[in-house]
Amino acid sequence: MIRTASPADIPVIHALVRELAEYEKAPEEARASEEQLREALFGERPAAFAHMALDDESGEPVGFALWFLNFSTWRGAHGIYLEDLYVRPSARGGGHGRALLTELARICVERGYERLEWSVLDWNRPAIGFYEALGARPQDEWTVYRLTDGALTALGSGH
């Protein structure tokens, strides 16, 4: 079962983000607080959105998808950028990841969004196989660049 996240889900979303960071071998990178997530998802101007995957029997959250809108100048339309998709190891293989992606694809179709995009670590073969089985294709001609921390501060302050 998939449902839209609510403010009561913030503690579990925070825990799932930390679990994802552990899985991706970068726990020190997951610095977001519950309050930051609450503001981003449910503040005065939400900038991100989330859906929860629930265990069929207990109804407890076992995974989540956190996403935001992007825009394609080439297509002249919005799309969804999936920032995080995570299902707890004990619940994998139960269709939760597919159900989360199906819900995001449904939102795209319903709202006229023309893309559903995300990044995956190149060593995460199980995820790559799962995504390709759904029909997703890698964008190998693109390389992601990122400014953070000191480099972002330096550029943003004109140095």
Tokens coding 137: 């294709």
Beta bridge partners of 69: 80
> What is the identity of the amino acid at 76?
G
- Residue 131 known to be catalytic: yes
Give yes or no for a contact between 127 and 120, defined as CB atoms under 8 angstroms apart: yes
Q: Is 108 exposed, middle or buried (0-12, 13-18, 19+ CB in 10 A)?
A: middle
Looking at 23, 113, 131, 145, which residue is catalytic?
131
CA distance 47 to 38: 11
Report, as residue numbers or ranges, the catalytic residues: 131
